[in-house]
Amino acid sequence: NPFAVVLPDVVLDEYTANQKTENLAAMIARYKATFASQIMVAPVPECDVNKYGIADCNGVEITPGDSAKIKRMVEKPAVGEAPSNLAVVGRYVLSEKIWRLLAKTPAGAGDEIQLTDAIDMLIEQDTVEAFNMTGKSHDCGDKLGYMNAFVEYGLRDAKLGADFKKSVEKILLEQ
């Protein structure tokens, strides 16, 4: 049975995409239609590729909301050695075959078993696609990314946004 993986350190912005119909919902629909595992990706600056798992789609340009076949995955490649700038965003719809592959995956980057490495093995057996997310994501595994997400959501909140903005402005004036 297929299943979804949602990593908690990445927040998909509800203000820039309809999360009920786009992104993970669209990935699930795509899996049901094609039986190809789906890995959510988003372009990142070249200088940041070493922070993420990177999908190599053989140079295919993927528009937001679309998928393309992945040739291979590379976990945290060195800057200048990445096959693309399509970074894994932390949402996956995977075939159950991944469990057997994880069991035989050796420790990789950070001396940890990397899901990206197991996905690279899955690519040898099945079609795995990169799904280019729509909207914006927040990397809350990064301290600055977490703080930026908190401020953005606070400012956009329908009930507290105006008061939060005044509080932030007051703090900035005091600096």
Chunk the chain into consecutive blocks of 10 residues (it has 175) and report each block's average pLDDT, rounded to whole numbers: 94 93 97 98 96 94 97 93 96 97 86 87 97 96 94 96 97 95
Cβ–Cβ under 8 Å, residues 122 and 105 = no
Q: Which domain holds residue 118?
A: 3-140
**Closest C-alpha among 63, 8, 67 to residue 40:** 67
Q: What is the pTM of this model?
A: 0.88
Check whether residue 74 and residue 110 sit in a common domain.
yes
Check whether residue 54 and residue 130 sit in a common domain.
yes
Q: Check which CATH number belongs to the domain holding 112 and give it.
A: 3.90.550.10
Check whether residue 38 and residue 93 sit in a common domain.
yes
What is d(CA 150, CA 81) in angstroms, rounded to the nearest whole number? Answer: 33
